[in-house]
Amino acid sequence: MDRIHRQADKSADELRHVAVVIREVGDPSDDQRHLGITYRVNESGPIQFLHLGWHCQLAQQDHLSSKYSWVDPQVPEARLRQLAAICEDIAHANIVEQIPYSFGSPVNAFDERTKRFLLGPTTTGLTCASFVLAVFERAQLRLARYMGWAAPDSNDIRWQQSVLDALRRTPGVSAEHINAVEREVGNSVRYRPEQVAGAAAIRKRRPVKYQYAKSLGNDVVRLLRGEQPVAEFQLSRWDRLLDRLGLA
Amino acid sequence: MNSLTLDTRALFQQTRQNEDEIRDTHDQKSWYLRTAPRGSRLHATVNWPQRVIGELSDRESNPEGPRTKVVAKSRGRARGWLSAFRFGSRDAVDISVFSKLPNPDIEAFDHFVVSVVQEASKSGIEEWNKIFAYTDFDALPVYISILTLAATEDKSNQLPARRVFVERCRKTLRSMGMADELFDLVQKDTKSAPRREQFLKTAHMVACLEEQTATKGYVKAAIAFEKLGDIRSALACVYRNMRYRLRDGQAKELDEDVRTFDIDDAGIDTMLAVLTATAPLKSSLPSRKAFYRGVRRTLKKRGQLEYGLLDGLK
């Protein structure tokens, strides 16, 4: 957890090309966080903040609120530069046409030829967290092991239902999109922002299994609330052995 | 002012008024207004009417037709520029010299520069001054501006308007986030290569970022950007051009780009960019496997192969 920094302790300006940024949204009892990516290709350049705010609200901003904490991904610096360039490309290609908000898969979310979001039968839209996963995926840096990710629990389904209700109230959302999201409620897995942030913070055994992402996510939430992690994160003995042997 | 709301007559009246106001000032264009008789002046005294006049004349000649001749359309921008200005009252320049520019390389640039110089020499040095002072270069791809500098390099002392133009090019590159060194390259390397050649090289590098199609030699341009320390442009050059290759169904050409990549000359960022951009298509790029092995070997030799660097790129 030494790669997660609050801006009060360490300015986001010290990032190495890319950082995953996360903040609490609303009251802590809402149990809701928002995730995005901050990046710059050249070390001396200004930082850019890229995030999927809501339905068709992909935003690229040149400032980052001090409420965000940031995760320094455990990725070699040269790969982070590639990731930053890809962020720039994706922002360039999608700011106009925009990305819908839904619970679609982050795999193959962007067209190889145009870098535009691929709207289709399997990719209906992304959340703020799956958008970050999709961007890392595009840079060949898969953060999460999607196979075996837990099915949505009652909290997740309640959250998905609340997103659907909010989409219904949002002007301009098409009936087709509402129907597509309706079908996904309760059937699509939920990638929580804190789990994605936690997965970015470790290098070992990446793509990260759900059990580790969940444990790391809980630690991230504690850090965001100014609490200390319960215990130091550890891989299972079996995974430590596989990691030592260099096996997937 | 919304220029499009003016009719042609009002526009010319406005232009005349502007001329009178500028003539007695120290504005960079006032020398022309003081010396050129009104009847022989170009059809513009400031840049904005030049564009409007072009658009209005298009509308007059084809009122029902689509308005697609405006300079902003990328593939037609270079040609549009050349037909927009005239060398004196003589024939317009043969626009066939632009035929290769939508897919430019250094040879095409060289051909273009030679052709433009030949045409301009028929009209004399005065025409170059007019071009520098009155052509709306802001509406052009930057590489065309740099090519214009290449074409006038040997006349630089006789062209007062060119000095200002050089600075404008530099500022434009800066505003595009490109390294200043890209332009200083021309000044630094004059001992090893003529300035004209350096301008051609710079124009080619900029074209690799500006053009909307894959530009010949873009990998070399990316390596050159990286050597200048402009990593952002180097990576954008690789990602954009490879994207255009895929968009246009040029998998064969893409494989050729990978096969001919000079690993020994390239830096780590360009190598990783090529590996990352081509990773999703590895099955259709037979040369990529050998390229990956070559990159791995070279990085190891240079001591740059750190743990996890090539994760997911094999």
- SS3 of chain B: CCHHHCCHHHHHHHHHHHHHHHHCCCCCCHHHHHHCCHHHCCCCCCHHHHHHHHHHHHHHHCCCCCCCCCCCCHHHHHHHHHHHCCCCCCCCCCHHHHCCCCCCCHHHHHHHHHHHHHHHHHHCHHHHHHHHHHCCHHHCCHHHHHHHHHHHHHHHHHCHHHHHHHHHHHHHHHHCCCCCHHHHHHHHCCCCCCHHHHHHHHHHHHHHHHCCCCCCCHHHHHHHHHHCCCHHHHHHHHHHHHHHHHHCCCHHHHHHHHHCCCCCCCCHHHHHHHHHHHHHHHHHCCCHHHHHHHHHHHHHHHCCCCCCCCCCCC
Q: For A18-22, B91-95, B181-185, which range has the lowest pLDDT when averaged over its residues?
A: B91-95
Q: B272 and A82: CB-CB below 8 Å?
A: yes
Q: Do A41 and B246 touch (CB under 8 A)?
A: no
The count of domains in chain A is: 1
- Mean pLDDT over B239-264 rounds to 92
Q: Chain B contacts of A115, Cβ < 8 Å?
A: 243
User: Which chain B residues are within 8 Å of A141, Cβ to Cβ?
Assistant: 311-312
Please say whether the beta carbons of B274 and B312 come within 8 A: no
Kindly give the confidence (pLDDT) of every residue in chain A, 248 residues in length, as a single tens digit, with 9 standing for 90 and above: 678 898 888 888 889 999 999 999 988 788 899 999 999 998 888 899 999 999 999 999 999 999 999 999 989 999 999 999 999 988 888 887 788 999 988 988 887 777 777 765 557 899 999 999 999 999 999 999 998 899 999 999 999 999 999 999 999 899 999 999 999 999 999 999 999 999 998 877 678 999 889 999 999 999 898 887 666 767 777 777 777 776 66
Per-residue pLDDT, B257: 96
The candidate with the shortest Cα–Cα distance to A199, out of A245, A136, A155, is A136
Are B149 and B230 in the same domain? no
Count the Cβ atoms, other than its own, within 10 Å of residue A88: 21
| Residue B312 to residue A141, Cβ atoms within 8 A | yes
Regarding whether B153 and B58 lie in a shared domain, the answer is: no
Q: At what angle do helices B231-247 and A77-94 cross, to 10 degrees?
A: 50
pLDDT at position A77:
94
Asked whether residue B189 falls in the same domain as residue B109, the answer is yes
Domain co-membership, B52 together with B77: no
Sign of CA dihedral B26, B32, B36, B37: negative
pLDDT in tens, B163-180: 878 888 888 888 887 877
Distance CA B22, CA B31 (A): 9
Q: Distance from first CA to last CA of chain A, Å, rounded?
A: 23
Q: How far is CA B98 from CA B55, B121, B176, in A?
A: 21, 18, 24
The residue out of B185, B212, B239 marking a domain boundary is: B212
| Contact: A86, B177; criterion CB under 8 Å | no
More confident: B35 or B221: B221
Q: Least CA distance to A116: which residue of chain B?
A: B243
Q: Residue A133 is part of which domain span?
A: 4-245
Measure B295 CA to nearest chain A CA, in Å: 14
Give pLDDT, residue B86. Answer: 40
Secondary structure letter of residue A165 according to DSSP: H
- What pLDDT is recorded for position B44? 40
If phi > 0 it is left, if psi is from -120 to 50 it is alpha, else beta; for residue A4 that is beta
Closest approach of A134 to chain B, Cα-based (Å): 14
Residues B64 and B79 in one domain: no
More confident residue, A80 or B61: A80
CB contact under 8 A, A82 and B306: no
If asked whether residues B167 and B293 sit together in one domain, one would say no
Say yes or no for a CB contact (<8 Å) between A113 and B243. Answer: yes
- Per the listing, tokens 């090019």 go with B169
Alpha carbons B212 and B248: distance in angstroms, whole number: 11
Task: Single out the residue in B212, B237, B264 at which a domain terminates.
Answer: B212
Closest Cα of chain B to A204: distance in Å? 10
Quote the tokens at residue B78: 């270079």
Residue B255 has pLDDT above 90, yes or no: yes
Which residues in chain A touch residue B304, judged by CB atoms under 8 angstroms apart? 78
CB B45 within 8 A of CB B34: no
| pLDDT at site B59 | 44
d(C-alpha B230, C-alpha B251), whole Å: 28
The burial of B42, by beta-carbon neighbours within 10 Å (0-12 exposed, 13-18 middle, 19 or more buried), is given as: middle
Question: Of the candidates A161, A132, A130, A147, which has an alpha carbon nearest to the alpha carbon of residue A209?
Answer: A147
**Residue B270 in this model has a pLDDT that exceeds 80:** yes
Residue A86: closest C-alpha in chain B: B239
8 A C-beta contact, residue A89 and residue B241: no
A69-71 and A4-6 as β-strands: parallel, antiparallel, unpaired?
Answer: antiparallel
Question: Which has more pLDDT, A106 or B191?
Answer: A106
First and final C-alpha spacing in chain B: 56
What does the alpha-carbon distance between residue B40 and residue A238 come to, in Å, rounded to a whole number?
86
| pLDDT value at B22 more than 70 | no
How much is the average pLDDT of B287-312? 94
**Would you say B253 and B214 are in contact if contact means Cβ atoms under 8 Å apart?**
yes
Q: Do A86 and B312 make contact, defined as CB atoms within 8 angstroms?
A: no
Per-residue confidence band for B21, with pLDDT thresholds at 50, 70 and 90: low
> Are residues B202 and B101 located together in one domain of the fold?
yes
Chain B residues with CB-CB distance to A under 8 A?
177, 230-232, 235-236, 239-240, 243, 246-247, 268-269, 272-273, 276, 279-281, 304, 306-309, 311-313
So what's the pLDDT on residue B259?
Answer: 96
Contact A79 B309 (CB under 8 A): yes
Shared-domain flag, residues B76 and B207: yes
Residues B159 and B204 reside in one and the same domain: yes
Domain coverage including residue B291? 216-314
> Cβ–Cβ of A140/B276 closer than 8 Å?
yes
| B278 and B192 part of one domain | no
